[in-house]
Structure 1
Amino acid sequence: MTNIMRNYQRFKMALAVSSAVWLVGCASNLPEEVPVAPNREACCATFQQLPYVQLKENETLTVSLGPQSEVFSFSEGKSYTQAFRFNDRTARAQISVKSVMQHGRVFVPRVLLLDKHYQVIKTLGADMFTPQTANLLDSSQLSGSFDSEGARYMVMYTNATTLGHKITLPHPAKLRAQELGEPMPMVTDPTYRYAPTGQVSVTVVTKEYATVLSSDNTSVSDSVTPQGVKQPEAQKETVDFYKQAIAAAISEKDISKAMALLNEAKALKIEGADKIFIELIENQLNDAQ
């Protein structure tokens, strides 16, 4: 009976050890094949032709980059790609990107910020993303945060020239032992290869909202013109209308109406409105004498 119990205890210990080795191996063993870039034709020739996901003012969404994704040819080579369009109300936003590290692989994001003409205004590379070891709530991941800097579009892909490179993180058990002051466990640090596919979450938080000029030209408004935006010149028909309307109001001795029309004309940047008003008032005074 004693031998049976002893053999049973040995079996349980062997099973526990093999299970631990299997779990560590799943997290750290590298795939035998080196990841390669997608080999199918690019979907588009320019950034403008890419399909863009419309972002909300504030939201978090998760995307999977893989065979179902669009392929685009970048200067570093082809890559599965995800493109985003910022909300029209968003003038500036804080962006957080997290890429899950799993099964010995990780998609290392590379981000392009584009202006409204689809021109690149900033490139964010791998150095923007920091590896974070897994905890009770989250898997190991690459995490980065940056400002949209007024961009209208964002394109995410990975650098094809770095595929197959490796990144090693400290095993969670080691970190826990260090925190608790316990003996260091005999575990293997997980290693991940840079891969062309992966799962990425994107969080956008609007920090500044876009402003627009009022299109209502029938009333006076002290609207603020955004810096760098040129106020459009009033059309000739509008100029003629206000000049004639001011003259008619003064002719009818309705000075309040003439003043209101003058203020509207000034708000519309109509040149000469002040001069016409003064001349007509002077003529009225001279005629009265």
Structure 2
Amino acid sequence: MNKKILLISGLLLLNGCSMIVDDQYQVAPIGKAVTQIQTAKKLPLEMDQEIKLAVSAQTQALDIYSIDSPSVVFDLPMVKNGFDINIEAEINDSVFVPSAKVMNQSGDIRAELDDEGLVYLKPRLADGNRLQGNIKVHPQIGDSALYLVVFTDKDKLNETVAVSHPAKLDAEGRGNYLTGVGDIQVPRALTGKLSIEATALGARTDAPSTVLPVLSNTERPQQESVNFYHQAIRTAIADNDVDKAMGLLRDAEQLGIADADQVFREAMKAQLDRQ
């Protein structure tokens, strides 16, 4: 398994009622395994609202489309220009490593997320070790409904996720480097905590504004604009400002700038390799 991962696992309410755990997390819908997406319990995923969920041993399971694990199904809004879904999974004594599929009413897959799309995030401020994942969705002609299914790969439960040792993190925080201390291997599990948030593609973040090259919707991106966004994304990630980098990525994609997503992923991997 790629040790650098981005996270996603989301879970939710039972029968429309939420149970709160740890003051923040709602318990994911409970139920027996279902074999049709139409009969699965679904939760609404509204724009710009973070949902925190806890996946338990009683969470509804799906047995469809090569999915066979506790799962959470979201009913997605039909946003014309598409949307960006961010998924984070908490890493504690174990971790629910998220995979995701976005499908329409007929089961046609519109977007997917697996281990290769996950990134490991070190503790920062109030957040602990996390896996983060990102998935972009563009509704197509004929789509009358879109569903996000978040699950995990049961075939990989014997694998682990590597996280930085607390002693190494403490040394780094003091400007030092601790040698001889290896990463901690955290086991994968069928339960865990997740947070999920969707944003309309092209939406800007609340990060400090930056003067960006002007580009009309009818023009092809000029090389100067392409270079600007590519470098700005790399710089934001090098500064550990992932939120700013994702905002730049959304703007670049809205303007039709090629390879912005690839630049984002490569910069994330390069930054992780340096740490």
TM-score class, shorter: 0.5 to 0.7
Alpha-carbon distance between aligned partners in 1 of 2:155 and 2:181, rounded to the nearest angstrom: 31
Counterpart in the other structure of 2:46: 56
Matched, 1:134 2:132: no
Change (3 A) 1:72 1:183: closer
**Partner deviation per Cα, 1:95-136 (whole Å, 9 max, x = no partner):** 100000002x10010101112333223321111111112233
Look up the match of 2:12.
Answer: none
Counterpart Cα distance in 2 of 1:75 and 1:115: 13
Q: What one-letter code is carried by the residue in structure 2 that aligns with 1:129?
A: L
| Partner residue of 1:170 out of 149, 164, 169 | 164
2:89 equivalent among 84, 89, 99: 99
Residue deviations 1:237-263, cap 9 Å, x none? xxxxxxxxxxxxxxxxxxxxxxxxxxx
Equivalent of residue 201 in structure 1, options 192, 195, 199:
195
| Cα 1:90–1:172 shift into 2, 3 Å | farther
The structure in which a higher percent of residues are helix is 1
Of the three residues 33, 39, 42, the one matched with 1:43 is 33
Structure showing greater Rg = 1
| Structure-to-structure mapping, 1:227-238, within 5 angstroms | none
Match of 2:72 among 65, 82, 106: 82
Is the CA contact 1:135–1:172 (under 8 Å) kept in the aligned structure 2?
Answer: no
> Contact between 2:35 and 2:64, CA under 8 Å: does it hold in 1?
no
Query: Which residue of the other structure, out of 116, 119, 127, is the alignment partner of 2:105?
Result: 116
| 171 and 45 in structure 1: CA distance in 2 versus 1, 3 angstrom threshold | same
- Residue in 1 that maps onto 2:58: 68
Distance in 2 separating the partners of 1:181 and 1:91: 44
Unaligned segments of structure 1, at least 5 residues: 1-40, 210-289
CA RMSD of aligned residues (A): 2.8
Identity value in percent: 19
One-letter code aligned to 1:106: V
How far did 1:71 drift?
A: 1.1
In 2, Cα distance between the equivalents of 1:183 and 1:206? 40
Aligned mates of 1:118, 1:208 — CA distance in 2: 27
Distance 1:98 1:149, change over 3 A: same
Alpha-carbon distance in 2 for matches of 1:125, 1:109: 7
Question: Structure 2: which 5+ runs fail to align?
Answer: 1-30, 141-145, 204-275
CA contact (8 A) 2:158 2:188 kept: yes
Secondary structure class of the residue paired with 2:132: strand
Alignment partner, residue 155 of structure 2: 161
Q: 1:176 to 1:54 in 2, by over 3 A?
A: same
Distance in 2 (CA, whole Å) between partners of 1:70 and 1:198 is 14
Q: CA–CA distance in 2 between the matches of 1:67 and 1:93?
A: 30
Contact kept? 1:133, 1:172, Cα under 8 Å: no
Q: By how many angstroms is 1:59 displaced?
A: 1.0
The structure-2 alpha-carbon separation of the partners of 1:187 and 1:135, relative to structure 1 and needing over 3 Å to count, comes to farther
Alpha-carbon deviation of 1:199? 0.6
1:102 match: secondary structure: coil
Residue 231 of structure 2 aligns with which residue?
Answer: none
> Once the 2 structures are TM-superposed, how far is the Cα of residue 176 of structure 1 from its aligned partner?
4.1
